[in-house]
Amino acid sequence: MTTRRQFIKNVAIGTAAVSASKVGGVLPSFSASSYRNIVGANDRIRIAGIGVNARGNALARGFANEKERGCVVTDICDVDSRAIEKGIKTVQDAAGNKPRGHEDIRKMLESNDFDAVFIATPDHWHAPAALMAMKAGKHVYLEKPTSHSPEENEILIAAEKKYRKVVQVGNQRRSWPNVAHAIKEIHDGVIGEVHYGKSWYYNKRPSMGTGNVISPPDWLNWELWQGPAPRVDYKDNIVHYNWHWVWHWGTGEALNNGMHFVDLLRWGMKLDYPVSVDSIGGRYHYQDDWETPDTQLVNFKFANGKVMTWESQSCVRSSISGHGSGVTFYGDKGSLTIGGGNEYRVFDLDNKLVKHVDSKMVFEEGNLVNPTQSLDAYHFQNFFDAIRKGEKLNSPLTEACISTQLVQLSNISHRVGRSLNIDQRKGTIVKDREANKLWKRDYAKGWEMKV
């Protein structure tokens, strides 16, 4: 039986094997004829999109652009009729074909005319949509976070095991060549033994205001938008982006952006679950309907004495080491910083730059929809290769669920107002009844997740 540690080790080996020829950050150029010579490349991957308004529309364009690599976007689904029209046009402009449009995911998944789905819905829909897709026999490309609550991680992992489908999670940095090379350098000892990792994200977001209860607009199926979540009245300041900051549907900045960077720290430091999680912060910048913290500092302590931190400022434009987002690993021989993009810097103990690996492919600070368009193709190709040839995923579900759970634990710590003790083997909360009430979420009747 494969243990979690063995599983993660295998993933790390597979991911670190990115060839040195890719280190410059230039996406390999394959013509249609040369790609047909690769075993399995003739097998078309027909993919459908679930949630195509913002990030999902960018994914629709990205997957449609992979037509020379045998991918075709056949269907799109959204509860916003405007998003359906926009998604259809996006695919037509990129690939030339006109996908079918759907409002109801349940009806779309009855079709046998596609093999996989990509999911970019609001967070409360991520795990339920992925479960429904696996049950329908579809492979899944799931935007982060994997879930709205830790219990949903457990359900998804059980479903993946039962239905035996390929599930890639949108931690795209796991496929970026220079980032993967930086992690390999850390594992090879470029900065010695790593004892501390720091991650951060800054943005200057406006107030979401105070919403008014009104009738849903005619372009939105509010019933389906809520889907698994218990029913509440429609307010005019929630759809489409501000749901991120309301606990009923969203998970705050920690899972909106923190998961990407906490995942990098876990990967570089070879860490699983901590022994304690402590979050401090709050909502400081406006008086409005925003519930999640706009300022958050999280400490993750591990059994081996190593420490990771996550800092977010959602309403302050700032930077660390010149980067508005990123991670820094600190070792006994130096430090290594990966910014938001596909590049990294190595420093000695006197903070003298000893190496800089750059890339023209960058993370566009402030781009809320598609900040990494030129780099996402690496992650798509890894997904295709896993489906066609059984290759290892760079961001498999089990790994991504661990990273998701760490930042979920930070939110639980924030909400109960104290440090949490964690079982390092399972990632569960130890002896805290109030905190454990937040381990799972409530569902609307008939929408409960069942494997």
How many of the other CB atoms lie within 10 Å of CB of 77?
29
For residue 436, report the phi and psi dihedrals to the nearest 5 degrees.
Answer: -70, -20
pLDDT digits (tens, 9 = 90+) for 268-288: 999 999 999 999 999 999 999
Instruction: Please tell me the predicted confidence (pLDDT) of residue 375.
Output: 86
Instruction: Please tell me the predicted confidence (pLDDT) of residue 399.
Output: 97
Sign of CA dihedral 210, 216, 217, 221: positive
pLDDT over 70 (residue 261): yes
Compute the mean pLDDT over every residue in the chain, rounded to the nearest whole number: 90
Instruction: Please tell me the predicted confidence (pLDDT) of residue 359.
Output: 79
First to last CA, the chain: 22
Residue scoring higher pLDDT (366 or 193): 193
Q: What is the mean pLDDT of residues 64-71?
A: 94
Token pair of 52 as six digits: 């195509």
Instruction: Please tell me the predicted confidence (pLDDT) of residue 45.
Output: 97
Residue 150 — pLDDT band, cuts 50, 70, 90?
Answer: very high
Can you tell me the distance from the alpha carbon of 113 to that of 90, in angstroms, rounded to the nearest whole number? 20
Q: How much of the chain, in percent, has pLDDT values that exceed 90?
A: 86
Reduced 3-state DSSP string for 165-212 = CCEEECCHHHHCHHHHHHHHHHHCCCCCCEEEEEEEEEEECCCCCCCC
Helices (H), 213-277: 222-226, 252-253, 259-269
Q: What is the mean pLDDT of residues 176-193?
A: 97
Can you tell me the distance from the alpha carbon of 200 to that of 297, in angstroms, rounded to the nearest whole number? 9
Residue 372 — pLDDT band, cuts 50, 70, 90?
Answer: low
pLDDT over 50 (residue 363): no
Can you tell me the distance from the alpha carbon of 93 to that of 96, in angstroms, rounded to the nearest whole number? 6
How many of the other CB atoms lie within 10 Å of CB of 443?
15
pLDDT digits (tens, 9 = 90+) for 6-46: 433 443 333 333 333 333 333 333 333 333 333 334 589 99
Q: What is the mean pLDDT of residues 163-181?
A: 96
pLDDT digits (tens, 9 = 90+) for 330-358: 999 999 999 999 999 999 999 999 999 99
Can you tell me the distance from the alpha carbon of 234 to that of 224, in angstroms, rounded to the nearest whole number? 12
Amino acid present at 55 = R
For the entire predicted model, the pTM comes to 0.88
Looking up tokens 């529309």 gives 57
Domains of the chain: 4-175+380-397 (3.40.50.720), 177-372+398-436 (3.30.360.10)
pLDDT over 90 (residue 153): yes
